[in-house]
Structure formats: structure tokens, C-alpha cells
Amino acid sequence: MRIIKNIFNLSFISIELGILLICLCNIWVFGLTNGRTYTKISKIPPREIALVLGTSPKMKSGQSNPYFTKRMDAAALLYHHGKIKKIIVSGEKSKGYNEPAAMKNYLVNQEGVPEDIIVEDPKGFNTYKSILRCKDVYKKKNVIIVSQGYHNLRALFFARNNDMNALGFDAQDVTKPESFYRNQAREILARVIAVVYFILGVSPD
């Protein structure tokens, strides 16, 4: 009985420590990025370039992915209001799949953005790679990162810790319960991983 009680106490302590870790990591991310994300186009300061983070243009059903279209809407809004001069579209390119090309095509054909101001980054396989390549490959540090708000916080965390003077412009979120709560929960845990990797000095590939 004593063994069972000790196991129960240890499990309870482990759960408490886990919850504490999640809270502290998310507080760190929020604190580091506080005041650097914007939802209104009139409020965000101008930057030379926008970095648009990739996502699939289509859902499994074959319908347009609303996360994708909202990010493109946000990027186009920045351009048409004179907040940026160029756009990097960063995402995964693999056999039969090309996020940057889909983003560029949408911006040009649906949003009226000039083709010659858009740069495709085909090796943005995750958020961290997109941020790091923006700085190291394209030599851009003063950027506006475009994604949904919950995602922008982690992206800005990576950017700030890589000495980038980045801001976030939040694309309109998708409020369907089945996707909203899933993405929010996943991002809470992703922030923990980002903080742990940063503390350990490990690249989150």
C-alpha cells in the first residue's frame, strides 16, 4: 500500500511540475514578444519585407485551407497599404507539393501583388527554419512575420532570440471549434519545446 501511495504522490508531483513548466515557458514566450504583434494594419510600423509562413493551400477534403487564404490576405494587405516592399513566402517544397509556389500564385492572381516583389523560399520546412533562413540566407532582419496570432508568438520568439528586429502581423484566425482548440493546444506545447530547445542550445529541426 505504501508503494502505491508513493507512486501516486510521485505522479501527482510530476503532473504539477509539468503544468508549471508549461505555464513558465508560455509566460516567457508571451513576455519576450509582448507588444510586437499587431492585428490592425494602421498600427503596424513599416518594414522592408514580410515573411509569410507556409501552410498547406488545401485541406484533406480538397477544399481551400482557410489558414492559407487568411495569411495571403494579410500579406497582401501589408503590401497594398505600403507597409512592406517585398515578400518572402517560406514553406515546404517536395515532390508533388510546393507551398511557396502556391503562396506566390495566390498573391499574384488573387491579391494583385506584383510577381517581381515575391521571393520563394522552398526550404522553410518548419517555423524555425523559415526564420533562420530569412536571416542567414536572405539577409533580412527587419521583417514583419505573417501568420495566425497563436503561431506568430512562437515565430517571434525564434526571431527575437536570433537577433532579428521582427514584428508580427496576425492573419485572421479560423474559429471553427474543431481546428481552433486543436491548434491552440498544440501551439501551447510547441512553445514549451521551443523554450526547452533554446535553453539547451539545440536547433529545433
- 156-195: per-residue pLDDT in tens? 999 988 999 999 999 998 876 556 677 777 888 888 888 7
- Number of Cβ within a 10 Å radius of residue 168: 25
* Cβ pair 87, 79 in contact under 8 A: yes
156 Ramachandran zone, left/alpha/beta (phi>0; psi -120 to 50): alpha
- 103-123: per-residue pLDDT in tens? 999 999 999 999 999 999 999
Residues β-bridged to residue 146? 52, 169
What is the Cα–Cα distance from 97 to 89, expressed in whole angstroms?
15
How distant is the alpha carbon of residue 182 from its chain centre? 15
- 41-95: per-residue pLDDT in tens? 999 999 999 999 999 999 888 889 999 999 999 999 999 999 999 999 999 999 8
Task: Compute the chain's Rg from CA coordinates.
Answer: 19
